Structure 1
Amino acid sequence: MQSSIFARSGETISRLGFGGMGLNGIFGQQDDAAMIRSLVYALENGINFIDTARVYGRSEELIGKALKEWRGEKPFIATKAAASAPPHSLPGAGFHFPLDVQSTYPPGSIRASVEQSLQAMDIETLDLLQLHVYWPQWDAVDYWMEELLRLKEEGKVRYLGVSLPDHRHDHAISLVRAGVIDSVQTIVNIFDSVALDCLVPICQENQVAVIARVILDEGGLTGFLKEDTAIPESDYRYNYFDCQPRSVYLDKVNRLCQYIPQYASSLTELAIKFVLKDPGVTVAISSMQVLEYAAENIAACDKEALPDELFELIKIRERWIRHFYHARRHL
């Protein structure tokens, strides 16, 4: 398993992390026991970074159960404070930008979220607490940062970070340069690699960790999606893939097959190798809610890295930003 140093801490973490969003059942009905087995398997095979959120349903509870089964060293656990406006609301559901900090994180709400997360996972300290959404205008308001710093002083939280909404990769640059946060979480994948150009280098300069999410584009970069693939309305991806004609998405994915098998054995492997190619990405998180997903993702980390020239070519040629959060489902 590849490893990296988390920010200025000197602590070593795996470059592939376990994403807890999939434990919420948003990808359809899931088996709790199977998800716990997958997480324990990931820990047994070198993953020591877990990312979740208070708003991910039962994700934190399942992580807590998995930790009780795990007999090794405690992994690095990151979660996100619950926002009053759910960060993953679907288009048209009442979640609008820009966000007001007083309504998104009212005074006392961050502390309440932390206490709930600690109880759910049955742990005493969160290694990393992230705001689930962040807006640059919040820099002018002090109380939310003061609340974060108090939690850190009390030992409930060790490090602080922000998770950026959708494709707004530049929104945390002021915080990064000010040295007040330890990490930034943002979208990075073959289709959306803008952060590698505008955010990651600045984070490297300031020793701020970069947590890459949506690295498989909600499963689209695994090749699972076909023209006739039925996605139930209860599945988060029901809206995600069909905010434009599905044929458009499939054409983009099929273009990637030109790099297989010469540079990767599968789309999944290609997608993971692409994100990990940039040394500025500290950790890439992936939902591995079943054991076979975990095994495939972990195996990809041990494969030969993409050639430099190919990485740059893919970054330019395959870039395609859809702004899902602002799109309407295609009719």
Structure 2
Amino acid sequence: MQYRKLGKTDLSVSEISLGTWQVGGKWGDPFSHENADQILNAAVDRGINFIDTADVYGDGESEKAVGRLVRSRSEQVYVATKCGRQLQPHTNDAYQPEALRKFVEQSLRNMQLDTIDLIQLHCPPTEVYYRPEIFEVFDRLKEEGKIRHLGVSVEKVEEGLKALTFPNVCSIQLIFNMFRQRPQELLFQEAKRHNVGLIVRVPLASGLLTGKFSRDTTFSADDHRQFNREGAAFDKGETFSGVDYEVGLEAVEALKKVFPDQPNLAPIALRWVLMFDEVSCVIPGASKPSQLESNLKAAELPAITDEQMQQVRAIYDQRIRPLVHYTW
């Protein structure tokens, strides 16, 4: 495992880390603490030292599992969680400093930890990024020892660029993958200039970039890959990176021709993300240990060639860019 500095923080994080949206089971399944414990401990066994969770994952059960892991291991494991998505309705007006403080304190109780290494605003409405008082409350929480660092999880490039104007923002979590390439143009450059770390989520486009899906693949009714394709529950960009499923399947077939010796595209898709030095880590999820092992194979792959990088870009430009580039 290789490690990279997380922006201006003192954290050196595993370049392949772990996201826990589905760590307690596949999307739509009840949360399984036994399954979560297996995956989380296997991750630490393999050198992963950075775990990303959120208070809404499994309605707090994911945080409980992560906290149990940290308390049970002797290794240094950094915890990143998120706050804000519990707000109903999830609007700019609902974002208030006192509400965010309560969420942070509840996360500490869920995990039974004294301090959160990285707290992140969880994809708030764009207007929130223009309200200094929202960011100031985290300075108070840091002074109180409840958090170490502040980050943001964003949907849009605009939100990431605005977040960079707040000095206490240490990291930006964003969607970046072979089907979502816009961030590398300006946001990566500005994040590097501000010494802000980049945490990449949805690196496999909700599984599309594994190359294992087909037109015959079915998803359960309570799986977001079924019910959120048009953004019925949350931003559609979180589901297949906002790419039409049929278009995505065709683009994946083109990618397979670029990497004909890769029976599973997932490791190469993760390796592609890590080709960008501005990225601090990538946080693919796993609903079973075998998926974790698949993700970790990316660390063993050689660098992608310049020619292959250009071919991936060409596929994006021809098939994907017109559909998603300027939406997020």
Q: TM-score, normalised by structure 1?
A: 0.85
**Cα RMSD after superposing both structures:** 2.4
Q: How big is the shift at 1:146?
A: 2.0
The counterpart of 2:69, out of the listed 45, 66, 70, is: 66
Matches within 5 A, 1:1-331: 1-23=1-23, 25=25, 27-29=27-29, 31-57=32-58, 58-69=61-72, 71-85=73-87, 99-100=91-92, 102-103=93-94, 105-135=95-125, 137-165=127-155, 168-240=156-228, 246-262=245-261, 264-319=262-317, 320=320
CA contact (8 A) 2:23 2:39 kept: no
Distance, in Å, in 2 between the alignment partners of 1:221 and 1:177 is: 33
Distance, in Å, in 1 between the alignment partners of 2:159 and 2:314 is: 22
Q: How big is the shift at 1:139?
A: 4.8
For residues 143-165 of structure 1, give each alpha carbon's deviation from its aligned partner in whole angstroms, at most 9, with x where no partner exists.
Answer: 21221110011111111111112
For residues 263-317 of structure 1, give each alpha carbon's deviation from its aligned partner in whole angstroms, at most 9, with x where no partner exists.
Answer: x452111211111111111111110221101111112112111113322431343
Give the 3 Å change call, closer, same or farther, for CA 82–265 of structure 1 in structure 2: same
Give the 3 Å change call, closer, same or farther, for CA 157–274 of structure 1 in structure 2: same
Distance, in Å, in 2 between the alignment partners of 1:226 and 1:191 is: 17
Distance, in Å, in 2 between the alignment partners of 1:169 and 1:120 is: 31
Letter in 2 for 1:291: P
Give the 3 Å change call, closer, same or farther, for CA 140–198 of structure 1 in structure 2: closer
CA contact (8 A) 1:37 1:66 kept: no
Give the aligned length: 309
CA contact (8 A) 2:268 2:301 kept: no
Q: How big is the shift at 1:187?
A: 0.5
Partner of 2:9: helix, strand, or coil?
coil
Letter in 1 for 2:142: K
Distance, in Å, in 1 between the alignment partners of 2:157 and 2:78 is: 24
Distance, in Å, in 2 between the alignment partners of 1:276 and 1:244 is: 22
Distance, in Å, in 2 between the alignment partners of 1:11 and 1:247 is: 40
Distance, in Å, in 1 between the alignment partners of 2:316 and 2:140 is: 44
Uncovered stretches (5+) of structure 2, i.e. residues with no partner: 231-241
Letter in 1 for 2:187: L
Q: Paired residue for 2:238?
A: none
CA contact (8 A) 1:17 1:47 kept: yes
CA contact (8 A) 1:39 1:289 kept: no
Identity %: 29
Give the 3 Å change call, closer, same or farther, for CA 25–34 of structure 1 in structure 2: closer
Q: TM-score, normalised by structure 2?
A: 0.86
Uncovered stretches (5+) of structure 1, i.e. residues with no partner: 87-93, 327-331
Q: How big is the shift at 1:172?
A: 2.4
Letter in 2 for 1:302: E
Distance, in Å, in 2 between the alignment partners of 1:291 and 1:25 is: 11
Partner of 2:179: helix, strand, or coil?
coil
Give the 3 Å change call, closer, same or farther, for CA 178–106 of structure 1 in structure 2: closer
Q: How big is the shift at 1:240?
A: 4.6
CA contact (8 A) 1:134 1:171 kept: no
Letter in 1 for 2:74: G
Partner of 1:22: helix, strand, or coil?
coil
Distance, in Å, in 2 between the alignment partners of 1:175 and 1:265 is: 39
For residues 71-99 of structure 1, give each alpha carbon's deviation from its aligned partner in whole angstroms, at most 9, with x where no partner exists.
Answer: 3323111111133557xxxxxxx86xxx5
Letter in 2 for 1:142: P
Distance, in Å, in 2 between the alignment partners of 1:8 and 1:283 is: 14
Distance, in Å, in 2 between the alignment partners of 1:179 and 1:309 is: 38
Give the 3 Å change call, closer, same or farther, for CA 68–174 of structure 1 in structure 2: closer
Distance, in Å, in 2 between the alignment partners of 1:132 and 1:209 is: 16
